Amino acid sequence: MMQLVFIKKYKWLAVLSLVLVLVLPFPNSVLAIGNPDSITIGEVAVFRGVEETGDQLYYCRYDLSYSVEPTENAEDTFLMAIYDTDGTTLLYTRPLNYYQHNIISIYLSASDALTWGSAYKIKIVGNPAIFALTEGVNMRTWTLSGGDYREFTSMGTYLIGQASILETDWGIDLLTSGNLLNTQGSIVFRDAIPGLNNIIPSIFSTTTSYFTTTNTTFTEDYAEETAARIGTMNAAFADLGEWLGISGGWTSLLASSIFAIMVSSVIYATTRRPEIGFVSMFGVFSVCTLMGWVALQLFVIIFIFIGIVFGILWWIGRMG
């Protein structure tokens, strides 16, 4: 009895505990990654006028060396960062895609571009939330100088040179014999520089191009001109159709069909090839359409019908 009273008395405490378990967030897992074996920056280059006048692309080739590559994603642990000339004011960052010897870039639009030729600091740096940052241990700094600033016209040749360096170090073909990025090289450089295949398509062995088209305005001028050719013949068909009790359009179609059958019969009698005789009807109906005897819309239907029957006859002839 006392046990039952105790449970009822403290039931609110059990409910509160359950609510806290469901509502309070679990603590985030702590990344246990250690410092790299070495961290270096091989080259940095800044290009302008890449996609628009006044924009800038900051390119970096780095080596974030681990003898045993961490299981943590590189994008969670290391960054490429641009610091002001004082080296302490952070301006822009982008997570790294990969560990080891690789490349990365940061693109700045014209509205975000920095002062051209200034001594900004480019860093490959560990995430401050994970590492106690120390230069040369988990952070490496490159100070930009005049030679690092380049015009867009040299970017293609420069990147092919960078691909050659990576190719030699990795032992993997990134270039074709014609010094163009192959499929593997394309993946590597488009990961580092998104949209590069649209920026400099000439350095890729295969590229995808998108054509721009303008809408065409269609008119019924030809149909109207065709109808105008009917003239007195149309009147004759109309009179004949009235006598037969059908419309002039059906009368002209009937006359065209009779004419087509006559021509195809002659051709069949000469060649003994039913498919040739049948396809000759297409030429007859084409002439009749130009003369205005057959409506253009109806000619399209006839053309499709003749094509289907011709295909069947051709197939039967080959099977026989």
In this prediction, residue 3 carries a pLDDT of 39
What are the structural domain ranges in the chain?
38-203, 225-315
Q: Helix axis angle, 296-319 relative to 274-290, nearest 10°?
A: 170
Q: Helix axis angle, 231-244 relative to 248-271, nearest 10°?
A: 100
Token representation of residue 187 = 């993946």
Q: 205: closest CA among 172, 170, 165, 174?
A: 174
Positions in the chain whose pLDDT score sits under 50? 1-30
Q: How far apart are CA 183 and CA 275, in angstroms?
A: 49
Residue position matching structure tokens 């822009």: 92
Bridge partners for 78 per DSSP? 126
Query: What architecture does CATH give domain 38-203?
Result: Sandwich (2.60)
Q: What is the pTM (predicted TM-score) of this model?
A: 0.58
CA-to-CA separations, 292 to 226, 244, 252, 301, in angstroms, rounded: 5, 20, 9, 16
In this prediction, residue 172 carries a pLDDT of 95
In this prediction, residue 131 carries a pLDDT of 95
Contact 76, 95 (CB under 8 A): yes
In this prediction, residue 206 carries a pLDDT of 77
Q: What are the pLDDT digits (tens) for 293-306?
A: 666 556 567 667 76
Parallel, antiparallel or unpaired: strands 38-48 and 149-151: parallel
In this prediction, residue 271 carries a pLDDT of 72
- Entry field: residues in the chain: 320
